Structure 1
Amino acid sequence: MTRLGDILADVKPGFATGDDLDDGVFQFRMHNFTRESALDLTKRRRVNATAKQLMIQSVAPGDVLFNATNSPELVGKSALIGVLDEPAVFSNHFMRLRTDPTQLDPGYLAHFLRFQFGRGVFRAMAKAWVNQATIGRDRLEGLDIPLLPLPEQRRIAAILDHADALRTDRREVLTRLDVLTKSIFNEMFGDPLTNPKGLPRATIGSVAAVVTGNSPSRADTSNFGDSIEWIKSGNLGGDVASTADEWLSETGRAKARVAPLGSILVTCIAGSPTSIGKASMVDRDVAFNQQINAILPSDKIDTAFLLAQLKTAPTLVRAKSTGGMKGLVNKSAFQSIEILLPGIDLQRGFAERIACVASLQSIAKSSLNVEDGLFASLQSRAFRGEL
């Protein structure tokens, strides 16, 4: 093992900037990092940069950007810079790592850092406060890395690149299938906001019962256990709500609001307006907190049709927000949201069409889970010297 700082040619922090500009230098920000630690170059924030900053704090192909300051669960993400179509700098949330090319391959380094992030190493080493965490340069440079011969490093990086590309392709398939669902909705019913087909409308409250969640007291530990999931807004956004981290006991369940299987849960209180309107169905009974309104199953509207409408046009919910820089849609306002309400047979016809899409999504997700497992196994073997 070798100390990382001993084989880096340069480590440089970025710089803070003022307002966004229409014409300036492209600056990498935290929003350029995808969940998978790839770089999204479609989002381009432009800033002022002095000649000195352009010289000292620019990025070039082969650099690795390390996200040294972020929320505790995201701090430590990193990405390898590839070909750039214009000069770029980076914000003060990052450290730019340049390797000594005679000792360390940048692709190998990027994969090693991603492996450490996945293992939770950076979250454990970060200094955290409230919703922010930072990893100091000394701690990063003190990280031990297995230093293999350069040809071996490049071989490992190539294997991991290939495995990761398979996962990227699978995610693209899932993205396209999600777009297909929205396209089918728009083809059959049009934009829910403008209603170009002149379909009947109704309020959510007139077609289904709405329930607002709550939070059993944390002061009473008997409220928490393993009887029922307690869903929060972070579990919403997919077609089906993800599994909750916390569960309530039978005591807590009796105090909670419970949404039965087939309900739609919608985020109505959030820290930012764009988080308002995240919606998912639940395929099991769940409890849920006060940030969420639940639409209970109803014979007046098809669940799949309603969920697709809310996901196609989240503005339906956001337009009712009164929370300023945050977001707040109370139960009364939520019930008053007007939605498209074509005949139930047409709704069910739509549900049958997207059931085929959902079947393809399920196959793709299963394949992605297999590929994620393979990638994790390859990472582990690579940095144990077994690949």
Structure 2
Amino acid sequence: MGPVVIGVPKERKDSEHRVALTPAGVHQLVQAGHRVVLEAGAGQGSGFADADYAAAGGEVVASADEVWQRATMVMKVKEPEPEEYGYFRPGLVLFTYLHLAAVPALAKALLAAGVTAIAYETVQLADGSLPLLSPMSEIAGRMSIQIAAHFLEKAHGGRGELLGGVPGVPPARVVVVGGGMVGMNAARIAVGLGAQVTVLDTNLARLRELDQMFGGRVRTVMSNPYNLRAEIAGCDVLVGAVLVPGARAPKIVTTDMVAGMNPGGVVVDVAIDQGGSIETIDHVTTHSRPVYERCGVLHYAVANIPGAVPRTATLALTHVTVPYALCLANLGVEAAARRDPALAKGINTMRGRVTNEAVARSLGLPYTPWTEVVDAG
């Protein structure tokens, strides 16, 4: 293949300061013979100046229009906003987080335009792990507890409770629903701050791993409606950490469960970018307006939690995305997907078809394997 033009527009989502490539990532792609075009100011929120990108071999242009028009592959962090749908066109490759199960309008726009859309969150290794989602899950899990501790403070609308308590005063009770990457990292920070922590999961083997990992400092409980209700009752912090790769998150925490929390408690649903797993969270919030009250409890439903720590998040994300971007640019989508089954699972749409089974099921649309789309010409 000849050189590929890779475009990096500035993120449009509310308070999203991450960027799809660092200067080091640009340098790697340029050294491989490709061209990188970036919108002016794209890296500013993560601490990377336009001059840094130019020194790395990138070309900085004035507008998003020029980036999208010139690029054959666009790399982003978050899913395109409606104002960006007009840039879609046949043959364009889009490599970013998509979460299509929760954004049907975006799926419709990608399909109508014939975009090949590859989602970071559905690139999946043979062992089931999600290499491009994991670093953001680590950050979001850790931040969920920082966020909860902040909003437990009276000045921010909470019950006026210190997460770890003090001698003679018991700590806050934290319940984490889901023991995967998000849940594990939430538990780690909550335990570190001295909270009383319970993790629920449907996978007994995972609960055993967590029990060993935390040396008994975390209570592990099998997740079912009865146990969820019992554990959430009287808790101070509830973290939703449920993930079904590519699919919409199941609503497993009901309104009456949330109503049983201590008044002034805090709910953080990290699964909100996949639709959310908590019934009382029925809309996405933003970093500029992060919480609302329901059932006497504050609800935090920001879909881009790591955007609050863009320097850390951008570095962590690009460490894992750049090797895949190089593979796509060097080989093209078809050859790259044939070489790497994990990357093939990332292809969500191609030539007007939904090519990820979980996404298709969530959207209620037909599923077509990407190989069949290619073979059909």
Question: What is the TM-score when the length of structure 2 is the normalising length?
Answer: 0.29
Larger Rg: 1
Higher strand share: 1
Question: What is the TM-score when the length of structure 1 is the normalising length?
Answer: 0.28
